[in-house]
Structure 1
Amino acid sequence: MVEIVTDWRGLPDSLKGAAVAIGAFDGVHRGHQAVIAGAREAARSLGAPLGVVSFDPHPRRWFQPDAAPFRLMTPAQMARALQPLGVDRLYRLPFDADMAAMSDEAFARDVLASGLGIRHAAVGFDFTYGKGRTGSPEGLRRQGGSLGFTVTVCDRVDDPDGLKLSSSAVREAVHAGDMLRAAAILGRPFAIEGEVIHGDKRGRTIGVPTANVRLGDYMRPAYGVYAVRTRLPDGRTFDGVASLGLRPMFALDEPLLEVWLFDFDGDLYGQTVETRLIAFLRGEQTFDGLDALKAQIDADAVAARAALRLAPS
């Protein structure tokens, strides 16, 4: 399991001394994984733990509190995505007024060198830090030289076919409902995790009970119907079909993910589930009554099963 550390102040020596990758890492996509690989190589060379330094909330949320939802993963999803990469520690540093006001020199000195006691930092080619984004990879390398840690800089990484590996590219793909492209950038399907809440239970009246999850601060995927796979807290995974959006026939105040799990019979209320959006099937529609809606749901289920048979398990 990845150990999660939620501050940089007052840490014991046992939580210091790592080789770390630094960045927002929202999505932990393949470009992020290349930066983490640089830190992993240094960790092996130094005999040090491998860490990732990220921030909570995302700096964009701090500086743009009214921005539309944009996150690609929850903290729990981030920790799980980092585990197969060999990461020992996730430093989820509070991005607060003090952090926002720090100069790049203060961040390197007080947070990285003194607070975390890092031995190495790996960053991306476009990494910036400090108030006004005055810090650069080369600046961090100079500061590290005087503060006792080394720095490697990961060049931009793209697919051989030119696929851009970035969080913004993931968002563009998810917004367009292009789940294959999103998965190619992420290295895994885009997934929404959240607590199952009570809905209006209308689905039960037509034989399709759904597990309903609020989207919260997740970016909004294309509204419509998806073929999905959902992981339950006990580790079991079920195929299904999901409606994501504002449900035109029965308007919602906020977008909702409503998942019909095939071959599942149980109570999930209050449990946290993760649903991978495997394939976009169609956009939102309005129907002439419940019978027409039920007929379309049945057709969506057939299409979802067909799509899922073609997708990796």
Structure 2
Amino acid sequence: MIIRPAYFGVRPAMMAIAPSFTALYQPTLPLPESLRGSVVAIGNFDGMHRGHQAVLEDAVQEARASGLKAVMLTFEPHPRTVFRPEAPVFRLTPHAEKAHIARAIGLDAMVSLAFTPEFSSQSPDRFIEDMLLGAFGAHNVISGYDFHFGKDRAGTPDYLRAQGLARGFGVTIVDMRADRSGDAVSSTRIRQALEDGALNPANQLLGYRHFLTGTVVHGEKNGRKLGYPTANMKLPLNSRLCEGVYAVKLVRQDGSLHNGVASFGRRPMFDNGPRVFEVHIFDFNEDLYGEEVRVALYGYLRGEARFDNLDGLIAQMDQDSAQARGILSHSKPLSELEERLWG
């Protein structure tokens, strides 16, 4: 059993991306035989932030050293959403985003289990017996210092260590990852920062620019009339991203990267309707309708506003575009992981 501390800014060199990657969503048992005997990193991992990366990088390193596969075991939907459906969690990295980051980190597979009230009611012992040993035949299990599992969260890191000793599998507990102020890197802090429009602090905690994934849909074409055609995406209803204007980079399925400026809100100059995320891509005139894209947020420019007339709105959009171009032209990757995500 190993307790390994991890501190902000101190991290091992990233391992090579696995030649193949498997992402399973709510799989039925048994799992593919190829995943048995793996090093299993377990957690909710919403955010895939620097603290989570410490756990996952440990799994990759231990797996490579042992000639095994590294697997990330997580849960969908987020447990807090199951326990409090009236107040669903503002998700930072749903399944698709988690898988994209997991592959960039170097994991071989990601398994997302269906988290239900029935699943949450099982004992920690049964979870270990049925899942970690039965389904995975885990060689080693790695978790963060604050991960709990099983009914009433009775499965603690200490319990997991004791079970590893008794049942013959290795256990690594990765200690808290802190920022330079000494505060823990956490999904809660990142969610609050994104809600407040504090994008730079959120991105620093993540270790990469926060990004959104969605399919481009038809909108009202108001931007086109103003000389600013947009690619529109609908964000999940539980998104609490701060409304306003952002400097962004859009990534297409072919891997091409495009600079732009985005607005998220209710379009107070037009219909003040449901919130829509609209991206204007600089120097671009191709059709994106129906294409799934990722949009990375590089800078928060201002809040949403209403202007006296359309000329005032267009003048502000011109300023927003110039500011976004300036931010994007001077941007550098926040980490090796970010280079892999968009490279």
Normalization by structure 2: what TM-score?
A: 0.87
Aligned partner of 2:97 among 61, 77, 82 = 77
Q: How far apart are the structure 2 equivalents of 1:117 and 1:89?
A: 15
- Residue 156 of structure 1, aligned match among 176, 179, 184: 176
Q: Hey, what's the Cα distance between the residues in 1 that align with 2:261 and 2:32?
A: 47
| 320, 328, 336: which one aligns with 1:308 | 328
Provide the aligned length of Structure 1 versus Structure 2. Answer: 313
Shift of 1:304: 1.0
3-state secondary structure, aligned to 2:53: helix
Corresponding position of 2:228: 208
Q: Letter of the aligned partner of 1:260 in structure 2? A: H
Q: Structure 1 residues 152-161 or 1-10, which shifts more?
A: 1-10
Checking the alignment, whether the CA contact within 8 Å between 2:142 and 2:172 is kept in structure 1 is yes
Given the alignment of the two structures, is residue 39 of structure 1 paired with residue 67 of structure 2, yes or no? no
Partner Cα separation in structure 2 for residue 98 and residue 224 of structure 1 = 40
SS of equivalent residue, structure 1 residue 36 = helix
Partner of 1:244: 264
Task: Give 1:90 shift.
Answer: 0.4
Within 1, Cα distance between the matches of 2:149 and 2:244? 38
Relative to structure 1, the CA distance from residue 120 to residue 217 in structure 2 (aligned partners, 3 Å threshold; closer, same or farther) is farther
Match of 2:305 in 1: 285
CA deviations on 1:88-111 (whole Å, 9 max, x unpaired) are 010111112431221111111111
Identity score, percent: 41
**After the TM superposition, which residues 189-200 of structure 1 pair with which residues of structure 2 at under 5 Å, given as runs?**
189-200=209-220
RMSD: 1.7
* Aligned equivalent of 1:145, options 149, 154, 165: 165
Deviations along 1:229-273, one digit per CA (max 9) or x if unpaired, are 111122111111111122222245432111100011011111111
Per-residue CA deviations over 1:30-81 (Å, capped at 9, x if unaligned) read 1001111332233234321111101111112211212145101232221121
1:218 Cα offset (Å): 5.7
**What residue in structure 2 maps to residue 265 of structure 1?**
285
**Which residue identity does 2:175 align to in structure 1?**
D
**Residue identity opposite 2:23 in structure 1:** I
In structure 2, the residue matched to 1:62 is 82
SS in structure 2 at match of 1:197: coil
**Structure 2: runs of 5 or more not aligned:** 1-19, 334-343
Partners in 2 of 1:227 and 1:246 — Cα distance?
Answer: 18
Match of 1:3 in 2: 22
Name the aligned partner's letter for residue 75 of structure 1: H
Greater shift after overlay, 106-115 or 214-223?
214-223
Q: What secondary structure sits across from 2:146 in the alignment?
A: coil
Residue 162 (structure 1) shift: 2.9
Q: Deviations over 1:268-291 (max 9, x none)?
A: 111111111111111111012222
TM-score (normalised: structure 1): 0.95
Distance (Å, rounded) in 1 between the aligned partners of 2:238 and 2:283? 28
Q: Tell me if structure 2 keeps the 8 A contact 1:211–1:259.
A: yes
Structure 1 CA distance, aligned partners of 2:152 and 2:181? Answer: 35
Distance 1:55 1:118, change over 3 A: same
Counterpart in 2 of 1:177? 197
- For residues 171 and 8 of structure 1, what CA distance do their matches in structure 2 show? 31
Residue of 311, 314, 334 corresponding to 1:294? 314
Q: Determine if contact 2:78/2:89 at 8 Å carries over to the other structure.
A: no
Task: Write out per-residue CA displacement over residues 122-165 of structure 1, whole angstroms, 9 at most, x where no aligned residue.
Answer: 11111100011111001011122233311111111112343531
1:96 aligns with 2:116: yes
Decide which of 22, 25, 43 is 1:23's aligned counterpart: 43
What is the alpha-carbon distance in structure 2 between the residues aligned to residue 69 and residue 44 of structure 1? 34
Distance 1:236 1:262 in 2: 13
When structure 1 is superposed on structure 2, of 248-257 and 93-102 the one drifting more is 248-257
Q: Shift of residue 5 of structure 1?
A: 2.7
